[in-house]
Structure formats: C-alpha cells, structure tokens
Amino acid sequence: MLSTPVFTGASAPSSAPQLSLPTRLRPHDLLRITDQGASEVLEGRFDHLLPGGGIWPTDERWSTRLHADDDLDVWLISWVPDRSTELHDHAGSLGALTVLSGSLVEYRWAGVELKRRRLDAGDQASFPLGWVHDVMRAPAASTPALAADGQAPTLSVHAYSPPLTAMSYYEVTDHSTLRRTRTELTDEPEGPSK
C-alpha cells in the first residue's frame, strides 16, 4: 500500500475563486502520489500484483489497483497497441497519471477540437473535473532501434480522488461540439479497452 499522502494544504492565491471540490486532494497531490507510486513499482514493491511470469498482456489493457482508501484509488495500467479508451470523463473524480515506461498519446477535448499530446516515460498529467480525453498507447516508432524499444510495456500509474465511481462517454459531432453518449458506473480506470 502506498504511504499515507501528505497534504500540502490550500495553495490557491487568495484572489482565486474558492472551489468546493469533492476531495481534499488537489491535482498537485495526485501528481505527487502517482510519481511515488511509479517509483514504488520500479522498486519492486508491487511485484506480487504484476502478471505471472513477468509477461505483460499484449491483447488487452491490463490494470491492477495499488491502493484504495476513502479519498483515493491508485492503479497501475499496462497499455497495448490499437486500443482506445474512447472519449471519456472521470465523473466527479479528479485524476492524474505518471508514465513509467513507453509512451502514451492523449486526445483532450479543448472546447472546439481535440488536442493531441504525447506523454513519454517520466511525463505526468493531471485531470481536473470536466476533463474529457481519449488515451492510448503511442504507436511504435518506425526506426528499427526505436521499434524494438516499443516492444517494452507501456505502463502508467493513475490516481483518482474521490475514488472513481463513474465515467461518461462522448463523441465529437459534425459541428465541432461534444455529445455525451452514455454514463456507466465503474471503478475500473480509463474506460473500456477497444
């Protein structure tokens, strides 16, 4: 289990509006927690939760919960090629991730279009309320040396607070708006593997 989070307290400038978020954790807390979780995975602290024989699934996304309490759940996810999460939000949960190995691509809804960014090993991202994105393993590089490296697992640690309970899914319409298509109760991270 991860160490007890250290709360750093309110850091917003006094002029900022006071938000009543459903958690006492803030994005910077979640970023630090996922960084800590990634370090502990690399140190072998969660080896007992990893796939048997050290063989990572190659057909479907795989995940295991590293920590759970009233404020927080933390997951390790192994990503596979050609699988999308679909565009989704995290309902009433804030989120964050740290990439341990490999690379992810995220498409985030930015108001009138999707913005793409690549997240490589060591990169972090946080997801405030209302964040709508699709996440997938980055395509393997075309050069042989980098393609060989692309065979390594793509792993990321994700934290959600309050613990994830639901996600809504979206599609982009022909007139560049977002249409919510469904909401599902779930405590599994990052949506379906399609």
Phi, psi of 159 (to 5 degrees): -125, 140
Q: Between 40 and 89, whose beta carbon lies closer to Fe ion?
A: 89
Segment near Fe ion (CB under 5 A), from 51-59, 72-80, 142-150, 186-194? 186-194
The residue behind tokens 């140190």 is 43
Give me the residue whose beta carbon is nearest to Fe ion: 190
What is the pattern of x (binds Fe ion, CB under 5 A) and - over residues 133-172?
A: ----------------------------------------
CA 180 to centroid of chain Cα atoms? 20
CB of 193 to Fe ion, least distance (A): 13
Q: Number of residues in contact with Fe ion, rule: CB under 5 A?
A: 1
Can you state the percent helix, strand and coil of the chain, rounding each to 5?
15, 35, 50
Of 64, 37, 62, the closest CA to residue 48 belongs to 64
In the complex with Fe ion, the residue whose CB is nearer, 29 or 190, is 190
Q: Which is nearer to Fe ion, 45 or 68 (CB)?
A: 68
Nearer to Fe ion, 1 or 124 (CB): 124
Cβ distance to Fe ion smaller for residue 40 or 190: 190
Nearest approach in angstroms of CB 139 to Fe ion is 19
CA geometry: angle at 133 spanning 127 and 139, to 5°?
115
**DSSP letter assigned to residue 91:** T
- Identify whether 162 is preceded by a cis peptide bond (ω within 30 of 0): yes
Task: Please name the residue that has the structure tokens 């404020």.
Answer: 71
The stretch near Fe ion (CB under 5 A) out of 18-26, 72-80, 141-149, 183-191 is 183-191
Residues that bind Fe ion (CB under 5 A): 190
